[in-house]
Amino acid sequence: MDRLVNTVRPYAWGSTTAIPELLGTPPTGEPQAEMWMGAHPGAPSRTERGPLNEVIDADPVRELGAPAVEKFGPRLPFLLKLLAAGAPLSLQVHPDLAQAKAGFAAEEAAGVPIDAPHRNYKDANHKPELVCALTPFNGLCGFRDPIEAADALSALGVDSLKPYVDLLHAHPEEAALREVLTALLSADPAEMAHTVTEAAAAAERLGGAHAPYAALAHHYPSDPGVIAAMLLNFVQLQPGEALYLGAGVPHAYLDGLGVEIMANSDNVLRCGLTPKHVDVPELLKIVRFEPTDPGVLRPEASPSGEEVYDTPIDEFRLSRLVRAEGAAPTDVTAPTPQILLAVAGRPKAGEVTLAPGESVFVPAGESTELSGTGTVFRATVVA
């Protein structure tokens, strides 16, 4: 197996303290948003054999196993991260696989540079993702019932929001949500800025269930995404709980530290809470306008004690092993590639001791046992 040296990304929304506290290192004062573990070419993990993407490229079948290569191609299908949100991320959605392939092909044919700020599709893959809380973790996930959203907007007492309230009472629900989001993102920016200011002041006065949206306005004071966020479910995860984000589901992480795993893609279409490009027509093709329960996931224990987070896709499988003192070693040998990430204690993967935040890549089929005390997240694929 390969001990991984991983890159921390300094995105502006990152916490300055959460990842350093987990790693036991002093904070630098700069945001540390994400630590990437995997073979993504943007920041591949490093090993004694070289960057992990180059190690895999040199012999995909040996590293990934024939079943994974046959199903997903000669690359690691997932990216594992530590994610530390100190401020809200952008409100966003991800395309499904067919939409990603079509969108990527269209932008390639149109000659849109891959690094252009208005480019929507950086690759031809979808980006389902799962985030598991390590600390209390707040987010927005999926549309709530339009009547609930209408009541929340109405309670603010802002005259310019009344047309949106009326639209949310219309039927069918999907059409109502579509019309409101379209209207919010297409409104005159100056008028919307005034509406957001009034709404934020009212939300701050009301507090309670409105408090998260008032907090958003402190970060994005004139952004229509503040109002759009009120259409969504507010979710609070406790450590060990998780959210699965499928295609077309609008979401945003607000604050907290978690383990995130996703299909290996950069495809993001933004709905607000961002200074970046928002392509409204393309966004409206991708968003699934249906009220949903956010579906908080809790792990299901297997006979071996491994706790699995069940998701409907095969590019990744995330599980957790909480090892008590004196527990017998756990065999985690698999015919697929794995990344093992410690988040507590000092467990051992084979002969490699892992401190919190340290990880190893285990090639397909390599005999591996977990021993010692601590908590390990195990990322692999279903092939």
- 144 catalytic, yes or no? no
Q: What is the crossing angle of helices 146-154 and 173-186, to 10°? A: 40
Cα–Cα distances (Å) from 213 to 105, 139, 140, 207, in that order, read: 37, 11, 10, 9
Q: Which residue in 75, 144, 270, 320 is the catalytic one?
A: 270
3-state secondary structure of 225: helix
Q: How far apart are CA 350 and CA 362, in angstroms?
A: 10
Contacts of residue 108, Cβ cutoff 8 Å, sequence gap at least 6: none
198-205 long-range Cβ contacts below 8 angstroms, 24+ apart: 198/156, 198/158, 198/160, 199/153, 199/156, 199/158, 199/161, 199/226, 199/227, 200/226, 202/155, 202/156, 202/157, 202/158, 203/156
The dihedral built from the CA positions of residue 105, 77, 274 and 184, taken in this order, carries a sign that is: positive
Q: Give phi and psi for 300, each to the nearest 5.
A: -105, 125
Residue 319 CA to residue 308 CA, distance in Å, equals 4
Task: List residues with catalytic annotation.
Answer: 270
